[in-house]
Structures are given as C-alpha cells and as structure tokens.
Amino acid sequence: MLTLSKAEKTKNTKTIRQMLDYNSLSVKSKHNLLRTAAAIGIGLSVALVLILLTAKNPGQAVKYFLAAPFMSKAYFSHLIEVIIPLLFTGSAVCIMFSANQFNLGLEGSFYLGGLIAAVSGIYLVTDVPFISPLVGILLGGIVGAIITMIPALLQYKWNANVLVSSLMMNYICLYVGLFLLFHYFKDPASSQHSYPIGDAAALTSFFKGTKIHSGIIIAALVTVFSYLLLYRTKTGYSLRATGQNPIFAKYSGLNVGALAVFSQIIGGFIGGMGGAVQMLGLYERFQWVDLTNFGWDGVTIAIFAKNNPKYLPLATLFIAYFRTGAWVMSFKAGVQIDLVSVFEGIMVLFLLAERFLAGTYKKMVFEDADRKRKEREALENNMDKEGAQA
C-alpha cells in the first residue's frame, strides 16, 4: 500500500481549493435578483393597496394599472413616448454616475436643450428636411453639455460641491428659459406658447394615429453608444475606474479631474439631445413652463439599470409600462396619477438600501460555503481512498 507523498498531498489540496474556489459571485447575483424582486413586490403591493383604498371601482383600476399598454394602440404609443426621453436621461446618468459624479443638472440640460431646438426650428433652420432636426438636436446637445459642464468645472477648479451647484443650475436654466420664452419667443396669440416650429424641423412619425417618432431610433443609438463608450473603450474604462476608486485611478496614471469633467460634459450633451428630441418629436410649439422631471427620472432609471446602459431598455420599459398604466387609470378610473411616483419611490428606496435583506444574504453565502465545504470534504475523502488503493 502506497501513501501519497507530502508534496503530492499539498498539491492535491491546492487543486481542490482551486476547483472549489470560494467564489460567491453567483450568490451575489441571485441575491440581487431577489432584492430587486422584493423591492418591486413591495412597491406593487403598496400601489395596489392605495388603488383599492382610493378607486371607486378598484377592479377596473387595477386592470388599467397592470395591463393598459395592451389595451389600445394609443396606450401602447404612450408607452413608447415615455421610453424615449428616459433612454436619453438614463444614458446620461449612467455615464456620470459610473464616474461617480453626482451631477443633477440634467433637468436644466433637458429643458434648455428643448428650448434651443425649438428656437432652431422657429428661426434658424426651419425648412430643410433632415438638416433642420439635426441642427436642432446638435444645438440641444451643446447647450445641455454647457449646463452640466459649469458645475463640473466649478468642482474641478474650486471644489464647489457639484451636487448643490448642479441643482441650483436647474433653476437658473428654468428661469432663463421662461424669460426668453415670454420676452422673445412667445406667440402674442397664445398665453404661453412660442411661435410654431417649422414643419421640416419636426421628427417624423412612424405610424399613423400614434405619436411614435423617429426619436426612438436616436434614443436607441444613444443607448448603444453609451454602453460601448463605458464598456468597450479606454475612455469608458478610465471613467469607470475613476468612479470605482479615484485614488486607484490617479495612482494608475489616469487624469481623474479631467475624466470627471468629461463624463459630465457627455452626460449633459445626451441630456440636451433628449430635450431636443422630445421637443421636436412631440410638440409644435415650445410650451414648457416648468422643468420636465425627465432629469430626475434618469436617476431612477440608472438606479434600476445599476449604471449600466445595457440594462436601460429593460429598466425604461418597466417604468414606462407602469406610468402608462397609471396614466390610463387616472382618466379611466379616477385614481391620482401621482400614485406611480409613490410606487417608483418605494422601489428606489429599497434598491438603494444597502442593508436591505442583508440577513438573507449572509444566510445564502453561508449555505453556499457550507455546501462547498461538504463537496470538498467528500473530494478529499475520495482522494485519500484512491491514494490508499494506489
């Protein structure tokens, strides 16, 4: 009977260790799914309870809330309409948050992006097909980029907290916009609408009887671009490294400050484009007298998508689906549309709460490790036996 030499034994244990390497990645993704499901479940339950409490005909209300997009072409069209701006601001936030830059100036970018696109369509290039919308959207992007760049530079140069200054920036944008609207662009025949935007500047509709416009293609392209930028280029790599650990990024030789500013310029550009597309796709005249809220929605969407544009289609579809439901429910069953904000807010809270279901996670990790321990022990026993037989 031969026994294994010591060196061989050590080597064997090592291979076993490598084979059963303590890798709990799968546990983590499982737990993430569970967390997301739980957050959605809690959000939905609260929403349903609120519907039951406030609706005159709860059964009908719930039906609209859960299935509206399938109930008519107009409702489905609304779903797509909601998705378009969310893809823009969602992409923008994904890029900025990936670099850990909490610039919240997208409201301003989106608003002024819309305004400048309208102005372009009213005064600058009013009647050249293709070129008119293109110019409008590019101008929107440029203005949007300037809006987020200002707080970014203030932070870079003078260490002014970007969160605060970008929030302030939004109001500056709104009031500058309102001033311009009421003093220069307002059609005297209307109370708050601008002169009409040239027909050629509008984005074309795809299907008769719906408002689905070619902006969806631009939105899809922007989403793909954002993903490729973040995950397939050296710039994107550098942005993410900066976001994950700025000290590490600096140590690796990356220009952390410039990258931070750059991420916000790109984000603002996409946000401004989103505003322009929204304006040229849906409106005949500029008429926004308040911020659109799409900037904030971008944050919600990015949280759902874990700052990865890859998940934006799913995340925007999810949000847009229930928004459409809430919208239909509001005029069909008389339930306040704000309900959907409660629903979204609750889900975001639970998704952001890092310790949410932490106990379950600990248990899952332990069970996984315990299982591996048993497998390893079985394997070791087998090896000993084999060694003994040999």
Partner 1 sequence: MKDFLVMENITKVYDNGVMANDNVCFSAEKGEIHAICGENGAGKSTLMKLLFGVEQPNQGRIIIRGEEVKLTSPLKAIEMGIGMVYQHFVLVPSLTIAENVMLGIEPKKGILFDKDKAVELTRAICEKYNFDIDPLAKIEDISVGVKQKVEIIKALIRGAEILILDEPTAVLTPQETKELFEQLKLLREAGHTIIFISHKLNEVKYLCDRVTIIRHGRTMGTHNVADVTEADISRLMVGADVELTISKTEAKPKDAVLRVKNLVTYNELGKKTLNGVSFTVREGEILGIAGVEGNGQRALINMITGFGEGGSGEVSINGKDIRSLNIKQLRQEGLVHVPEDRNVMGVAKNMSIRENLIADKINLPKYNKKLTLNDDAIDEDTQQWIKDFDVVCSGSEQPVGMLSGGNVQKVVVARELTSYTKLIVCDQPTRGIDVGATEFIRKRLVQKRDEGNAVLLVSADLGEVMNLSDKLIVMYGGEIVAYFPDVTDITEEDLGFYMLGIKKMTAEEIGGAYVE
Q: Which residues lie near partner 1 (CB under 8 A)?
A: 6-7, 10, 13, 17-18, 21-25, 27, 228, 232-234, 237-238, 240-241, 244-245, 247-255, 361-362, 365-366, 368-370, 372-373
Distance, in Å, from the CA atom of 248 to the CA atom of 214, rounded to the nearest integer, reads 42
Distance, in Å, from the CA atom of 18 to the CA atom of 144, rounded to the nearest integer, reads 51
Residue type present at position 210: T
Pick the closer one to partner 1 by CB: 13 or 210: 13
Provide the minimum distance between the beta carbon of 243 and partner 1 in the complex, in angstroms, as a whole number: 9
Pick the closer one to partner 1 by CB: 6 or 183: 6
Distance, in Å, from the CA atom of 172 to the CA atom of 154, rounded to the nearest integer, reads 15
Q: Can you tell me which residue has the tokens 């760049």? A: 149
Pick the closer one to partner 1 by CB: 17 or 157: 17
Provide the minimum distance between the beta carbon of 129 and partner 1 in the complex, in angstroms, as a whole number: 30
- Do 14 and 21 touch, CB atoms closer than 8 A? no
Backbone angles phi, psi at 219, to 5 degrees: -60, -45
Pick the closer one to partner 1 by CB: 1 or 25: 25
Pick the closer one to partner 1 by CB: 206 or 225: 225
Provide the minimum distance between the beta carbon of 364 and partner 1 in the complex, in angstroms, as a whole number: 10
Q: Can you tell me which residue has the tokens 């600058």? A: 124
Provide the minimum distance between the beta carbon of 201 and partner 1 in the complex, in angstroms, as a whole number: 31
Residue type present at position 260: A
Helix 25-54 vs helix 58-67: crossing angle, to nearest 10: 140
3-state secondary structure of 196: strand
Distance, in Å, from the CA atom of 10 to the CA atom of 6, rounded to the nearest integer, reads 6
Pick the closer one to partner 1 by CB: 56 or 234: 234
With a CB cutoff of 8 Å and minimum separation 6, the contacts of 212 are 77, 80, 81, 205, 206
Pick the closer one to partner 1 by CB: 161 or 233: 233
Provide the minimum distance between the beta carbon of 265 and partner 1 in the complex, in angstroms, as a whole number: 19
User: Could you give the angle at the alpha carbon of 282 between the alpha carbons of 312 and 309, nearest 5°?
Assistant: 10
Pick the closer one to partner 1 by CB: 64 or 227: 227
Compute and round to an integer the Cα radius of gyration of the chain. Answer: 26
Provide the minimum distance between the beta carbon of 254 and partner 1 in the complex, in angstroms, as a whole number: 7
Provide the minimum distance between the beta carbon of 16 and partner 1 in the complex, in angstroms, as a whole number: 11
Provide the minimum distance between the beta carbon of 253 and partner 1 in the complex, in angstroms, as a whole number: 4
* Residue 201: Cβ-neighbour burial (10 angstroms; 0-12, 13-18, 19+): buried
Nearest to 329 by CA among 81, 54, 68: 68
Provide the minimum distance between the beta carbon of 309 and partner 1 in the complex, in angstroms, as a whole number: 15
* Residue 365: Cβ-neighbour burial (10 angstroms; 0-12, 13-18, 19+): middle
Pick the closer one to partner 1 by CB: 209 or 359: 359
Query: Chain centroid to CA 333: how far?
Result: 30
